[in-house]
Structure 1
Amino acid sequence: MSVPTLAAARTLLGQRDHRTGEEAQLSFENFPTVGLAKTYCVDAQIADSACTATSYLCGVKTNLGTIGVTAAVPRGDCPSSADSATHVESIAAWALADGRDAGIVTTTRVTHASPAGAYAHVANRDWESDVDVLNDSHDPGSCPDIAYQLIHSYPGNEFKVQLIFYFQ
């Protein structure tokens, strides 16, 4: 969330309590440490969940629509995304390398851009399956899709898995 978003939420909270709003505080603002992250993409001011997931999970800025790769990979460029020199490691990979367990919790598809930031290296956030890669005229054998990477590649293939379905 941006600083203006926090200010708006704080104001609404206070106003719902029949106050002006500026004096209100969100629960997490009482934490002993607070950090800010700039989540814009290298090539776009307005970020998407692909480049932001790479930013906050891997600590590296990248291009709009790309996941787990450096900014040397333009969106849709299969050959450059297949080059392991362009891959960046996520905090999940760091944890696994340290002997810890890792996984993802999500309310969306596990192949969606936000959770994929923990394990995938891909030039297009929309390449969730081999059909998606083929539809963009690329070979899934040389440009593995996000689902394939989750099942067959590190660190995704080392995640602890538990499925919980919640229906209202």
Structure 2
Amino acid sequence: MIDAYFSKKLERIERISTLIRPIDRTLLKTAEEPLPILLQKNEVEEFLKNLFVEVYERSGEKLNERLRHMRKWNLFRFIGIPTGFSRHVEKDEQLAKENREAMLSLAILRKILGVKTPTELDKVKILPKEYLYYRIKLKNKEIFNEKGEKDFIYTQLLEIDDGFRKALLSRI
């Protein structure tokens, strides 16, 4: 099950895979005021395959960018050129965070699609069956589902993703 509205609104592509969940058969097939469906059934397969390819490429790019930064920093340190330790630590922490996001997204997509590389995607067939509606409520900067349970993924996205935040707050 993938969110057919917020999956097209997120700021960073690596975060889309967090909106893929196991199917909950207790969800309703209709809703009073549903959000628009931005991801149509006939687009799901191509959307997920393109997402996998993009995340696969970005995960390698993020790792290379971090390693390049570390090599350059270590070279300057070895030679004895002062470069500002805290500045490099902050940059490395940011690159490490981005790399973790990309690798986590890739791991989720690999498990869901059952592939390891983009060359295997031609074997994947996805047949969407129906739309189900997941009701959420915003309370004190936290998101809860219709059962009153806190949704940790949506709450985290509300904190860190501007695209998600803007899309949610524009619908309230």
TM bucket (normalised to shorter chain) is under 0.3
Work out which of the two has the higher radius of gyration on C-alpha atoms and give 1 or 2. 2
Which is helix-richer, 1 or 2? 2
In the superposition, the TM-score normalised over structure 1's length comes to 0.24
